[in-house]
Amino acid sequence: MRTKSEHLRNNILFPLLLALAVLLVASVASLLAIQRLNIRSDINSKIKAVENLFPALVEVESDLLSAQIDFLREEKVLQDLWLTRDREQILQHTSPIFTVMKAKYNVTHFYFIDLEQKCFLRVHNPGRYGDLINRTTMNAASRKMSPAGGIELGPLGTFTLRVVHPWFINGDHVGYIELGKEIHHITPLMKRSLGVDLVFTIHKVNLKRADWENGMKM
């Protein structure tokens, strides 16, 4: 025969403990759900911030590259050297300029391109020239006869912000000047501003292994 205490335990205490357990589980589940929502909200907020800040930084960096090209194409000594097409003299004159631009502004690419859109001189890689520059920015500058810029994947696997300007001397179109900076120079700015790390990936199908290895050496 059950005692009075056993009857009390079975009819009141057990249901109460069960209710408390259910309440505890529900509370933990609610906290986890709220935490997930907060994490998702924070991630979405940072993604939105990246989407807004990245193009703004690209525009600022493009304007800086354009300003440097404006200086280069108006320099009288460089104009005279270009008209002589003396590659070695142009390289000697522009190498110190490139060194300064690289140190101060993270410029990593410096091209002189002729009217046929062939590379006359890569100041950053002088041993490689004569190839056709068939990129979106180059083609846009040639087609519109105005500056063009954007982020592009180069043949050596470098992901680069490029700005190309048509070059005129005494009113005559004589070629193009292009400056670029590899995109990883922008990512530290975004990390400092937003507290996020960015990783850029490139599908291997878009690269030639030998060219990519040469690009990494460069």
State what percent of residues in the chain have pLDDT above 70: 90
Q: pLDDT of 110-126, one tens digit each?
A: 999 999 999 999 999 99
Query: Is residue 34 in a domain?
Result: no
Structural domain count of the chain: 1
Query: Is residue 39 in a domain?
Result: no
Longest dimension (CA), the chain: 117
Cα distances (angstroms) measured from residue 13 to each of 8, 20, 21, 27: 7, 10, 12, 21
pLDDT of residue 1 exceeding 60: no
Higher pLDDT, 3 or 179: 179
Query: Is residue 193 in a domain?
Result: yes
Confidence of residue 199 (pLDDT cuts 50, 70, 90): confident
* Residue-averaged pLDDT of the chain: 85
H-helix or E-strand spanning residue 122? strand 119-122
Query: Is residue 105 in a domain?
Result: yes
- Lookup: tokens for 8: 């009390």
Question: CATH number of the domain that 86 lies in?
Answer: 3.30.450.20
182 within 8 A of 159, measured Cβ to Cβ? yes
Strand partners, 181: 161
pLDDT of residue 15 exceeding 90: no
Residue 21's pLDDT is 75
Q: pLDDT of 53-96, one tens digit each?
A: 788 888 889 999 999 999 999 999 999 999 999 999 999 999 99
Query: Is residue 67 in a domain?
Result: yes
pLDDT of residue 3 exceeding 70: no
Query: Is residue 141 in a domain?
Result: yes
Query: Is residue 25 in a domain?
Result: no
Tell me how far apart the alpha carbons of residues 80 and 90 are, in angstroms, rounded to a whole number: 10
- Residue 130, amino acid: G
Q: Which residue has the tokens 């993604």?
A: 47
Give the range of the structural domain holding residue 106, as residue numbers without chain letter. 47-217
Query: Is residue 10 in a domain?
Result: no
Residue 11's pLDDT is 66
Residue 113's pLDDT is 98
